[in-house]
Amino acid sequence: MTGIISTLFHRPGSCSRTRLAGRPFYLWQIASTVGFVFLFSPEIAAIGVLLVVENEISNFGYMHQILYQYSIVLAPILALGVLYAIAQQSTLWRRNALAIVALTGAVWTCTLWGYAPFSDNSIQTQTVAPSSIGALNTLEKKIHRTPWFRRGTLGLPRRQSIADLCLAHAVLRRRLGTRD
Protein backbone atom coordinates (compact mmCIF):
# COMPACT_ATOMS: atom_id res chain seq x y z
CA MET A 1 0.00 0.00 0.00
CA THR A 2 2.87 2.40 0.72
CA GLY A 3 4.20 1.87 -2.81
CA ILE A 4 0.88 2.97 -4.27
CA ILE A 5 0.72 6.06 -2.08
CA SER A 6 4.30 7.07 -2.86
CA THR A 7 3.64 6.55 -6.59
CA LEU A 8 0.59 8.81 -6.36
CA PHE A 9 2.69 11.61 -4.91
CA HIS A 10 6.03 11.10 -6.68
CA ARG A 11 4.88 9.94 -10.14
CA PRO A 12 1.19 10.79 -10.56
CA GLY A 13 1.50 10.57 -14.35
CA SER A 14 2.24 6.85 -14.19
CA CYS A 15 -1.07 6.25 -12.42
CA SER A 16 -3.05 8.06 -15.10
CA ARG A 17 -1.21 6.23 -17.91
CA THR A 18 -1.93 2.82 -16.48
CA ARG A 19 -5.65 3.55 -16.23
CA LEU A 20 -5.98 2.90 -19.96
CA ALA A 21 -4.22 -0.50 -20.00
CA GLY A 22 -7.21 -2.82 -19.67
CA ARG A 23 -8.34 -1.52 -16.30
CA PRO A 24 -11.83 -0.41 -17.42
CA PHE A 25 -12.39 -4.00 -18.56
CA TYR A 26 -11.51 -5.15 -15.03
CA LEU A 27 -14.18 -2.85 -13.63
CA TRP A 28 -16.65 -4.19 -16.19
CA GLN A 29 -15.83 -7.77 -15.20
CA ILE A 30 -16.20 -7.08 -11.48
CA ALA A 31 -19.49 -5.19 -11.78
CA SER A 32 -21.12 -7.41 -14.38
CA THR A 33 -20.65 -10.57 -12.31
CA VAL A 34 -23.57 -9.40 -10.19
CA GLY A 35 -25.46 -7.65 -12.99
CA PHE A 36 -24.68 -4.16 -11.60
CA VAL A 37 -27.44 -4.74 -9.02
CA PHE A 38 -25.15 -3.53 -6.23
CA LEU A 39 -25.63 0.01 -7.61
CA PHE A 40 -29.08 0.00 -5.98
CA SER A 41 -27.30 -0.08 -2.60
CA PRO A 42 -24.19 2.06 -3.06
CA GLU A 43 -23.62 2.34 0.69
CA ILE A 44 -22.66 -1.34 0.83
CA ALA A 45 -20.64 -1.21 -2.39
CA ALA A 46 -18.74 1.79 -1.01
CA ILE A 47 -17.05 -0.58 1.46
CA GLY A 48 -14.94 -1.95 -1.40
CA VAL A 49 -14.05 1.38 -3.04
CA LEU A 50 -10.54 1.55 -1.55
CA LEU A 51 -9.82 -2.00 -2.65
CA VAL A 52 -11.02 -1.28 -6.19
CA VAL A 53 -8.90 1.88 -6.31
CA GLU A 54 -5.87 -0.05 -5.08
CA ASN A 55 -6.39 -2.77 -7.68
CA GLU A 56 -6.92 -0.20 -10.41
CA ILE A 57 -3.82 1.91 -9.86
CA SER A 58 -1.48 -0.94 -9.06
CA ASN A 59 1.34 -1.72 -11.50
CA PHE A 60 1.13 -5.41 -10.55
CA GLY A 61 -0.82 -6.95 -13.42
CA TYR A 62 -2.47 -9.72 -11.42
CA MET A 63 -4.25 -7.22 -9.17
CA HIS A 64 -6.62 -6.12 -11.92
CA GLN A 65 -7.54 -9.51 -13.31
CA ILE A 66 -10.52 -11.39 -11.90
CA LEU A 67 -8.84 -14.80 -12.11
CA TYR A 68 -6.49 -14.08 -9.22
CA GLN A 69 -6.98 -13.85 -5.47
CA TYR A 70 -6.72 -10.06 -5.30
CA SER A 71 -10.28 -9.69 -6.58
CA ILE A 72 -11.83 -12.31 -4.33
CA VAL A 73 -12.03 -9.82 -1.46
CA LEU A 74 -14.58 -7.85 -3.49
CA ALA A 75 -16.85 -10.87 -4.02
CA PRO A 76 -18.52 -10.91 -0.59
CA ILE A 77 -18.86 -7.12 -0.61
CA LEU A 78 -20.63 -7.17 -3.96
CA ALA A 79 -22.73 -10.19 -2.98
CA LEU A 80 -23.87 -8.47 0.21
CA GLY A 81 -24.54 -5.31 -1.78
CA VAL A 82 -26.77 -7.29 -4.13
CA LEU A 83 -28.61 -8.97 -1.24
CA TYR A 84 -29.13 -5.65 0.51
CA ALA A 85 -30.30 -4.01 -2.73
CA ILE A 86 -32.83 -6.78 -3.33
CA ALA A 87 -34.03 -6.73 0.27
CA GLN A 88 -34.67 -2.99 0.35
CA GLN A 89 -36.99 -3.05 -2.67
CA SER A 90 -40.58 -2.23 -1.76
CA THR A 91 -42.45 -4.56 -4.09
CA LEU A 92 -42.10 -8.25 -4.78
CA TRP A 93 -41.97 -7.58 -8.52
CA ARG A 94 -38.87 -5.36 -8.16
CA ARG A 95 -37.18 -7.87 -5.85
CA ASN A 96 -37.73 -10.68 -8.35
CA ALA A 97 -36.55 -8.50 -11.25
CA LEU A 98 -33.30 -7.59 -9.47
CA ALA A 99 -32.74 -11.21 -8.45
CA ILE A 100 -33.17 -12.33 -12.07
CA VAL A 101 -30.79 -9.62 -13.30
CA ALA A 102 -28.15 -10.61 -10.71
CA LEU A 103 -28.53 -14.31 -11.51
CA THR A 104 -28.35 -13.65 -15.25
CA GLY A 105 -25.18 -11.58 -14.76
CA ALA A 106 -23.60 -14.33 -12.68
CA VAL A 107 -24.36 -17.10 -15.19
CA TRP A 108 -23.41 -14.97 -18.19
CA THR A 109 -20.05 -13.90 -16.76
CA CYS A 110 -19.32 -17.44 -15.57
CA THR A 111 -19.92 -18.60 -19.13
CA LEU A 112 -17.55 -15.95 -20.51
CA TRP A 113 -14.75 -15.91 -17.96
CA GLY A 114 -15.27 -18.83 -15.59
CA TYR A 115 -14.14 -22.44 -15.55
CA ALA A 116 -17.50 -24.16 -15.07
CA PRO A 117 -18.32 -27.15 -17.31
CA PHE A 118 -20.56 -24.94 -19.47
CA SER A 119 -18.00 -22.11 -19.76
CA ASP A 120 -16.11 -21.00 -22.85
CA ASN A 121 -12.81 -21.51 -21.01
CA SER A 122 -11.34 -24.88 -20.20
CA ILE A 123 -8.66 -25.97 -17.79
CA GLN A 124 -5.53 -26.98 -19.66
CA THR A 125 -4.14 -30.34 -18.67
CA GLN A 126 -0.86 -31.88 -19.63
CA THR A 127 -0.23 -35.53 -20.25
CA VAL A 128 2.84 -37.31 -18.98
CA ALA A 129 5.03 -39.07 -21.50
CA PRO A 130 4.96 -42.89 -21.24
CA SER A 131 8.74 -43.00 -20.86
CA SER A 132 8.46 -40.84 -17.74
CA ILE A 133 5.82 -43.10 -16.25
CA GLY A 134 7.94 -46.18 -16.94
CA ALA A 135 11.03 -44.58 -15.42
CA LEU A 136 9.07 -43.49 -12.36
CA ASN A 137 7.64 -47.00 -11.89
CA THR A 138 11.15 -48.46 -12.13
CA LEU A 139 12.40 -45.90 -9.64
CA GLU A 140 9.58 -46.61 -7.21
CA LYS A 141 10.28 -50.34 -7.31
CA LYS A 142 13.96 -49.67 -6.69
CA ILE A 143 13.19 -47.35 -3.77
CA HIS A 144 10.80 -49.85 -2.17
CA ARG A 145 13.50 -52.55 -2.25
CA THR A 146 16.10 -50.46 -0.42
CA PRO A 147 16.70 -51.18 3.29
CA TRP A 148 16.42 -47.53 4.30
CA PHE A 149 12.89 -47.41 2.92
CA ARG A 150 11.81 -50.55 4.77
CA ARG A 151 13.04 -49.22 8.10
CA GLY A 152 10.50 -47.08 9.86
CA THR A 153 9.24 -46.01 13.22
CA LEU A 154 7.61 -48.82 15.23
CA GLY A 155 7.95 -51.20 12.30
CA LEU A 156 5.74 -49.12 10.01
CA PRO A 157 7.10 -48.58 6.49
CA ARG A 158 8.47 -45.14 5.81
CA ARG A 159 6.64 -43.27 3.04
CA GLN A 160 8.49 -41.19 0.49
CA SER A 161 7.26 -37.74 -0.34
CA ILE A 162 6.36 -36.78 -3.87
CA ALA A 163 9.22 -34.26 -3.87
CA ASP A 164 11.74 -37.02 -3.07
CA LEU A 165 10.38 -39.19 -5.88
CA CYS A 166 10.43 -36.29 -8.36
CA LEU A 167 14.02 -35.45 -7.45
CA ALA A 168 15.05 -39.09 -7.82
CA HIS A 169 13.14 -39.26 -11.10
CA ALA A 170 14.99 -36.20 -12.42
CA VAL A 171 18.33 -37.75 -11.44
CA LEU A 172 17.35 -40.98 -13.16
CA ARG A 173 16.35 -39.12 -16.32
CA ARG A 174 19.67 -37.30 -16.33
CA ARG A 175 21.57 -40.58 -15.93
CA LEU A 176 19.56 -42.21 -18.71
CA GLY A 177 20.04 -39.16 -20.92
CA THR A 178 16.32 -38.82 -21.70
CA ARG A 179 14.41 -35.59 -21.94
CA ASP A 180 10.63 -35.49 -21.54
Average pLDDT, rounded, for the chain: 78
Q: Per residue in 38-96, pLDDT tens?
A: 999 999 989 998 888 888 777 777 887 887 878 888 999 999 999 999 999 999 999 99
Q: What is the pLDDT of residue 147?
A: 60
Higher pLDDT, 84 or 142: 84
Query: What pLDDT score was predicted for residue 63?
Result: 82
Buried b or exposed e, range 143-172, using 16+ CB within 10 angstroms:
eeeeeeeeeeeeeeeeeeeeeeeeebbeeb
pLDDT tens for residues 9-42? Answer: 777 766 665 555 567 888 899 999 999 999 999 9
Q: Which residue has the higher pLDDT, 148 or 97?
A: 97
Cut 0.85: pTM above it: no
Q: Which of 5-19, 88-102, 114-128, 153-167 tops mean pLDDT?
A: 88-102
Answer yes or no: is pLDDT of 7 > 80: no
Question: Mean of the pLDDT values across residues 109-121?
Answer: 87
